[in-house]
Amino acid sequence: MKSTWNRREFLQRTSAATLAALAAGSPMANVLTGCKPGANSTADTVILLWMAGGMAHTETFDPKLYTPYKTGMEGNRVLSTFKSIPTVLDGIHFSDGLQSIGKVMDKGTLIRSYTAADMGHILHSRHQYHWHTCYEPPQTVAAPHLGSWIAKELGPKNPVIPAFIDIGQRFTLGEGEELKAFHTAGFLGNEFGPFFIPDPSQGLDSVRPPVGMDAKRFERRNQLYNELISNSPVGEFGSDYQRESLKRSMEQAYALLNSPESKAFDLSTEPKESYNIYNTGKFGLGCLLARRLTEQGARFISVTTEYEPFKGWDTHENGNTRLVEMKKQIDGPIAQLIKDLDKQGLLDRTMVVLASEFSRDIMVEGSPDLKVQEQVAQPDVLSDMKFYGMHRHFTDAGSMLMFGGGIKKGFVYGKTADERPCKTIENPIKIDAVHQTIYHALGIAEDTQYEVEKRPFYTTPDGKGKAVMELLT
pLDDT at 63: 98
Q: What is the mean pLDDT of residues 52-62?
A: 98
Is the model's pLDDT at 464 over the cut of 70? Answer: yes
Please state, in angstroms and as integers, the Cα–Cα distance from residue 22 to each residue in 25, 241, 305, following that order.
Answer: 8, 9, 31
The pLDDT, as a whole number, for residue 35 is: 44
pLDDT of residue 1: 39
Identify the domain containing residue 385 by its residue range: 30-202+263-448+463-471
Please choose, from the candidates 340, 283, 273, 289, the residue with its C-alpha nearest in 3D space to the C-alpha of residue 169: 283
322 - beta bridge partners? none
**Statement: residue 25 has pLDDT above 60:** no
Whether residue 347 lies inside any domain: the answer is: yes
Specify if 343 maps to a domain: yes
* Residue 246 predicted with pLDDT over 70: no
pLDDT (0 to 100) of residue 175: 85
Q: What DSSP line would sit under 101-138, residue for residue?
A: HHTTGGGEEEE--B-----SS--HHHHHHHHHHSSPSP
Whether residue 190 is contained in a domain is answered as: yes
How far is residue 213's CA from residue 221's CA, in Å, rounded to a whole number? 10
Is the pLDDT confidence value at 158 over 80? yes
Give dist(CA 285, CA 283) in Å, integer: 5
Among 353, 395, 405, residue whose Cα is nearest residue 111? 353
pLDDT of 14 over the 70 cut: no
For the chain, state the CA radius of gyration.
22
Q: How far apart are CA 51 and CA 58, in angstroms?
A: 15
Q: Is the bond leading into 421 cis (omega within 30 degrees of zero)?
A: yes
Q: How many domains does the chain have?
A: 1
* pLDDT tens figures, 85-97: 999 999 999 999 9
Percentage of residues in the chain having pLDDT higher than 70 = 81
Q: Is pLDDT at 8 greater than 50 in this prediction?
A: yes
pLDDT at 26: 61
Amino acid 370: pLDDT: 78
* pLDDT above 80 for 30: no
In this structure, is residue 414 part of a structural domain?
A: yes
Most confident of 88-102, 214-228, 448-462: 88-102
100 or 246: which carries more pLDDT confidence?
100
pLDDT at 188 over 50: yes
Inform me whether the pLDDT recorded for 23 exceeds 50. no
Sheet strand arrangement including 108-111: 195-197, 164-167, 300-304, 45-50, 350-355, 400-403, 108-111, 411-413
**pLDDT at 173 (0 to 100):** 86
* Residue with the larger pLDDT of the pair 312 and 1: 312
2: in domain? no
Per the model's pLDDT, the better-predicted residue between 17 and 120 turns out to be: 120
Please tell me the least confidently modeled range out of 228-242, 405-419, 456-470: 228-242
- Does the structure show a pLDDT above 50 at 364? yes
Is 193 within the bounds of a domain? Answer: yes
Is 257 part of any domain?
no
pLDDT at 153: 97
Tell me the pLDDT tens digit for each residue of 268-296: 999 999 999 999 999 999 999 999 999 99
Any idea what the CATH number is for the domain that residue 107 is in? 3.40.720.10
Q: What is the pTM for the complete model shown?
A: 0.87
Question: pLDDT tens digits, residue range 295-315?
Answer: 999 999 999 999 999 999 999
365-392 confidence digits (pLDDT tens):
998 887 777 777 789 999 999 999 999 9
**Average pLDDT of the segment spanning 408-420:** 97
